[in-house]
Chain A
């Protein structure tokens, strides 16, 4: 394979499809985290608040 062939080379279709599916999966994961409050942090303060123990 020479330089010209190298430049014409296309990324395999399965890689493109995989990339799109992976992106959707990451978005779904992020949305689930946002709805669950996961991005507020991962410590007691983040996951506690109104749901934590009653005295």
Chain B
């Protein structure tokens, strides 16, 4: 178990990374919508180039920072990783979001590379560009759910959590 100071530091870093991740995905969504709907070719090009840079240098690092600090916070405190349903669900959602993000870095880079070379026509790569909007929207839903779970911490011990609780109560103090 971590010291109280260590717990607060880990929690602070986790909140910073998670909220930063949510904010950067919101910025990504705004750029994805602008890239899809704006008529000005230069703005559209700028949007996709900015999306690639944002993904590579902000979203992906914050995503991993959130995952790592979340693991440290869970394992270093009495919350544990598999004791409470809300922690298990939050961890699952974070891992899923991380995998989906990593899978989608390639199409983001692809659209950005084309946009960097020359203007994109309105119809060009429309499915992929629409996909990026949908992905960012889904990511925001997941991250908002994670935030709500972290703040409300709904009750409910897992089977493992109940067994651990029983074992701890049985230990002589």
Contacts and interface: CB of A to CB of B under 8 A. Distances in A.
A6 B159 CA distance: 7
A5 B155 CA distance: 17
Indicate the size class of the contact surface on chain B: 20 to 34
A12 to B, nearest CB: 4
Contacts of A36: 127-128, 130-131, 134
B30 to A, nearest CB: 19
Nearest to B124: A51
B156 A42 contact: no
B127 A1 contact: no
Contacts of A20: none
Contacts of A33: 131, 134
Interface in B125-171: 125-128, 130-131, 134, 138, 141, 154-156, 159, 162-163, 165-166
Interface string B91-114: 000000000000110110011001
A33 B121 CA distance: 22
B165 A1 contact: yes
Residues of B contacting A: mostly: helix
A51 B125 contact: yes
A46 B125 CA distance: 11
A53 to B, nearest CB: 7
B153 to A, nearest CB: 12
A51 B106 CA distance: 17
Nearest to A37: B127
B131 A38 contact: yes
Given A12-B85, A29-B138, A51-B124, A42 B163 contact: no
Contact of A12 (B118, B123, B155): B155
Given A6-B162, A36-B127, A51-B126, 18 more contacts: A1-B165, A2-B166, A9-B159, A11-B156, A12-B156, A15-B85, A15-B156, A29-B134, A42-B103, A42-B107, A43-B107, A43-B110, A46-B107, A47-B110, A47-B111, A47-B127, A48-B125, A52-B125
- A-B pairs, 8 with minimum CB distance: A12-B156, A47-B128, A36-B131, A42-B106, A36-B127, A15-B85, A32-B134, A42-B107
